[in-house]
Amino acid sequence: MEQQNQKESGQPGGDSNSENMARRGIVLRFVIPSIAVVSFLAMVVGSWFLYRTWDFLNIPPESQGRKINFIIEPGQTLWQVSANLAKAGLIKDSKRFRGYAQAEKKGGNVRAGEFNLYTNMTAPEVLTEITTTSGILHKLSVREGLNWWQTAKIAEEAGLTTYSDFKKAVYNRELIKKYNIPADNLEGYLFPETYMLTRPQKETGTIIAETMVREFFKAAHKAWPDGLPSPKKIHETLILASLVEKETGDISERRTIAGVFANRLRKGYLLQSDPTIIYGLGEDFDGNLHKSQLQDKTNTYNTYRHRGLPPGPICSPGLASIEAAINPEKNNYLYFVAKGDGSHYFSRSLKEHNNAVKKYQLRRNRKTYRSY
């Protein structure tokens, strides 16, 4: 019985160990393949992710490529820009583009402007273009001596604004106040220069006009290196400089002509400058100055009828004319007349001036004569 009991009591213990080992074997047989599968899947997913990333960075959306004029508005976020790039077909994935830009620490470097982008550019090339270049720049060439409406026409022809928008900007009270200009318009402050500009997408006239005003004040600091005078003094100087600019294209004569005007102002003489009358006639002047217009007192810019400087500048003078107005030549001249070759004859007396008028004006060769 004892042997039988021992046998009976011993069997269950032996069978249990065998069963546990068998079960562990089964579990191991299942676990080991499962780990291998998971590892394989992870490798596959990782490889797929790496390929997608490589593909995004190295393969452009199209192999042939189309040019797309892409515009980034001022204030647009990276999210908006990337979404628009994807919509235009310039990148494959806006989310990846944002992540790439942030990884490159260029997320905040996106520039507003107009860009020529191509669908065969890679994402890194697109990012470089919109974060490190100025995009498409448009040329605006404004020469010395133009008034605001002539400048408006040039800006419109350059495709940067419209005539009406520029005119509104010239009379924009907020802009005038911002730069402390003692006038009701920006005439004279639209500095003549060759500008390379990004095409504005809104408030076009204001952006172009303000760019030119800022350029004027840069030039003003050169003209007054020791510091700018009062706004009133700047304005008066600018009026005189505009007269100098319109009366001669010869830089060697500008201080002399400024001296003539300074002498006449000091003596209380009428300035008698034709360009002032023409400016007062406004945008509709037909190019012919008549005797009745010389006698018109209602024209506040008529310096044949009103003493002193005209109410405001009659054009935008260049730096040389501004400097001439600041430092006029000290001379005894009171008159000058165009000689017909671009230069002028200067006189100290009315008699001398009248003789010069006969010689250079009344007997001039109309085919070769030029006053400017």
What is the DSSP track for 241-287?
Answer: HHHHHHH-S-GGGHHHHHHHHHHHHHHT-----HHHHHHHHGGG--S
Q: Is residue 38 part of a domain?
A: no
pLDDT recorded at residue 368: 53
Specify whether 194 is located in the same domain as 264: no
What's the rounded mean pLDDT across residues 275-298? 92
Specify whether 251 is located in the same domain as 316: yes
What is the distance between the alpha carbons of residues 351 and 357, in angstroms, rounded to a whole number? 10
What is the distance between the alpha carbons of residues 168 and 207, in angstroms, rounded to a whole number? 11
* Tens digits of residue pLDDT in 237-252: 999 999 999 999 889 9
Judge contact between 361 and 294, C-beta under 8 A.
Answer: no
Q: Is residue 196 part of a domain?
A: yes
* Count of domains forming the chain: 3
Q: Which of 223, 257, 284 is the last residue of a domain?
A: 223
Specify whether 305 is located in the same domain as 323: yes
Specify whether 288 is located in the same domain as 320: yes
Please state whether the predicted TM-score (pTM) of the whole model is above 0.95.
no
pLDDT recorded at residue 35: 62
CATH of the domain at 126: 3.30.1490.480
Specify whether 207 is located in the same domain as 311: no
Specify whether 249 is located in the same domain as 198: no
Is the confidence at residue 329, as pLDDT, over 60? yes
Specify whether 260 is located in the same domain as 338: yes
* Tens digits of residue pLDDT in 120-162: 999 999 999 999 998 999 999 999 999 999 999 999 999 999 9
DSSP codes, 81-125: HHHHHHHTTS-S-HHHHHHHHHHTT-TT-PPPEEEEEETTS-HHH
* Tens digits of residue pLDDT in 2-49: 444 444 444 445 555 656 555 555 554 555 556 655 555 555 555 555
Specify whether 116 is located in the same domain as 85: yes
Q: Which of 132, 160, 181 is the last residue of a domain?
A: 132
Q: Which of 80, 103, 132 is the last residue of a domain?
A: 132
Q: Is residue 45 part of a domain?
A: no
Domain coverage including residue 351: 242-362
Specify whether 277 is located in the same domain as 358: yes
Tokens 């599968």: give the residue.
Answer: 37
